[in-house]
């Protein structure tokens, strides 16, 4: 916990001014992390000491903050091993002497790590170790009179409104849906399928886009209004918890839509629309919430790269490219704001603008050649645009003078060799 807190302080994740960030810099997060690692025995999973399960979870989250995906996967794996050894995916295997508070803590940890497993498999391209169909664990109780939660509301407010856990549990439901959508996403990410298929034996498990979104929005409409708008921060945790849940719900809803649109045969306009909604949604959230969300926000935004990268695969008209270009520059503008107010590394937005400039230069040259003679190689283009790339910002905001109707333009793969680098926001 100390290592994670230190890393988040260093990255500007404090959402109030009550703490002195400079006083929290020593010892470093890495030093605290190493101390925690040394304190955990090598056979901790066999001991079934619940504190070790919590430690694995916190260390996995800390690795996300570091941008260290391999180590994140390592600690998620250790946590999953702990669960597997004890059969803890079923509450009936939990210790029978747990009081209500201990029971609620285990439920919160269990579902938190489930959502992290699904999130990481989608954002970082791995595989989910969790299968919700195998679980027999209740959601955390949203009855705060029984949960022992001292951070939620004061006694006088206890019965005046919903619990923040109502929103938290809704997000868990979204991730259970995402788990099944992710099955199809994994197939699309691997164009060369080496694993033999099982036609006729297994029904496709990925939920259909339209029916799935309809059901999700029906559940969303049932939520209390406090979870549908992000109110300004007050500095009171019992109030701000609801704002954090509203921000998390909005982000998770957009992630569901991103995955569903990626796994279906969506049009360029549909993909641009969902990407724009994700960007605009985050842009409308008070910066203090974004600061507190910290590194996971950047990974979420990086997911837009997967959507927008796929639109170039089958070619675009100039009109379609104008729409794609607008989305990419909107994302660059959001990142530029995060560079000032948050933890986003300086120059992150410039990488994305440079990628847009490269495509802009290709489009200019493509329009200048005979329509019957498409650009086959990149050598002339690279030569002509080398000076332009020296100052990518010069071309980031100009408007392209494009005709509304144009033939399909196919983009050479060399144009996207730096695509993943442009969307590496760590």
Name the nearest CA neighbour of 123 among 16, 19, 259.
Answer: 259
pTM for this model (two decimals):
0.81
Q: Compute φ and ψ for 203, nearest 5 degrees.
A: -75, 140
Q: Per DSSP, which regions of 81-143 are E strands?
A: none
Which residue has tokens 């040259």?
365
Q: CA 320, CA 359: separation in Å to the nearest integer?
A: 13
Q: Count Cα atoms within 13 angstroms, Cβ side, for 204.
A: 11
| Domain layout of the chain by residue ranges | 284-426
Q: What is the pLDDT of residue 341?
A: 55
Q: CA 357, CA 360: separation in Å to the nearest integer?
A: 5
- Count CB neighbours of 168 within 10 A: 22
Q: What is the pLDDT of residue 194?
A: 75
Which residues are paired to 316 by β-bridges?
Answer: 409
415 to 197, 349, 367, 369: CA distances (angstroms): 33, 18, 16, 18
Q: Which residue ranges in the chain fall short of pLDDT 70?
A: 15-17, 144-160, 184-192, 197-209, 263-265, 340-346, 369-407, 425-426
CB burial of 185-206 (b: ≥16 within 10 Å; e: otherwise) equals: bbeeeeeeeeeeeeeeeeeeeb
Q: What is the pLDDT of residue 154?
A: 46
User: Any alpha helices (H) in 190-263, and if so which ranges?
Assistant: 209-221, 237-263
Q: What is the pLDDT of residue 424?
A: 74
Computed over its alpha carbons, how large is the radius of gyration of the chain? 24
Q: What is the pLDDT of residue 71?
A: 95
216-245: pLDDT as tens digits: 999 999 999 999 988 888 878 888 899 999
Q: What is the pLDDT of residue 198?
A: 66
Q: What is the pLDDT of residue 413?
A: 86
Q: What is the pLDDT of residue 384?
A: 43
- To the nearest 5 percent, what fractions of the chain are helix, strand and coil? 65, 0, 35
- Count CB neighbours of 113 within 10 A: 23
285 to 27, 40, 127, 297: CA distances (angstroms): 32, 39, 30, 12
């Amino acid at each position: 916990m100390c290592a994670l807190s230190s890393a988040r302080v260093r990255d500007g994740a404090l959402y109030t001014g009550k703490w002195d960030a400079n006083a929290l810099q020593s010892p470093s997060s890495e030093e605290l992390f190493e101390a925690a690692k040394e304190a955990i025995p090598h056979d901790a999973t066999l001991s079934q000491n619940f504190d070790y399960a919590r430690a694995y979870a916190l260390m996995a989250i800390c690795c996300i903050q570091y941008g260290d995906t391999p180590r994140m996967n390592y600690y998620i794996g250790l946590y999953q091993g702990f669960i597997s050894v004890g059969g803890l995916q079923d509450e009936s295997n939990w210790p029978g002497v747990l009081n209500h508070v201990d029971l609620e803590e285990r439920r919160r940890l269990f579902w938190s790590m489930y959502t992290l497993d699904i999130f990481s498999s989608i954002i970082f391209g791995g595989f989910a170790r969790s299968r919700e169909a195998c679980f027999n664990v209740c959601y955390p109780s949203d009855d705060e009179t029984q949960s022992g939660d001292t951070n939620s509301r004061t006694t006088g407010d206890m019965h005046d409104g919903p619990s923040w856990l109502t929103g938290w549990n809704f997000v868990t439901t979204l991730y259970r849906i995402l788990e099944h959508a992710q099955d199809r996403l994994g197939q699309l990410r691997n164009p060369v399928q080496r694993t033999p298929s099982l036609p006729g034996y297994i029904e496709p498990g990925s939920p259909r886009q339209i029916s799935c979104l309809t059901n999700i929005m029906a559940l969303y409409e049932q939520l209390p209004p406090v979870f549908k708008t992000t109110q300004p921060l007050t500095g009171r945790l019992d109030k701000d918890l609801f704002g954090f849940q509203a921000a998390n719900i909005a982000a998770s809803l957009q992630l569901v839509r991103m995955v569903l649109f990626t796994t279906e045969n969506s049009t360029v306009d549909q993909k641009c629309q969902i990407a724009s909604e994700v960007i605009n949604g985050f842009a409308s959230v008070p910066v203090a919430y974004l600061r507190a969300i910290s590194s996971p926000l950047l990974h979420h935004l990086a997911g837009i790269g997967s959507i927008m990268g796929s639109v170039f695969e089958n070619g675009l008209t100039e009109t379609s490219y104008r729409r794609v270009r607008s989305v990419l520059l909107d994302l660059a503008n959001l990142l530029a704001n995060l560079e000032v107010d948050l933890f986003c590394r300086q120059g992150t937005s410039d990488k994305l603008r440079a990628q847009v400039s490269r495509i802009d230069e290709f489009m200019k040259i493509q329009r200048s050649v005979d329509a019957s003679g498409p650009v086959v190689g990149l050598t002339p283009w690279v030569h002509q645009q080398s000076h332009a790339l020296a100052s990518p910002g010069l071309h980031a905001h100009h408007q392209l003078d494009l005709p509304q109707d144009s033939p399909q333009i196919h983009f050479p793969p060399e144009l996207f060799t730096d695509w993943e680098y442009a969307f590496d926001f760590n």
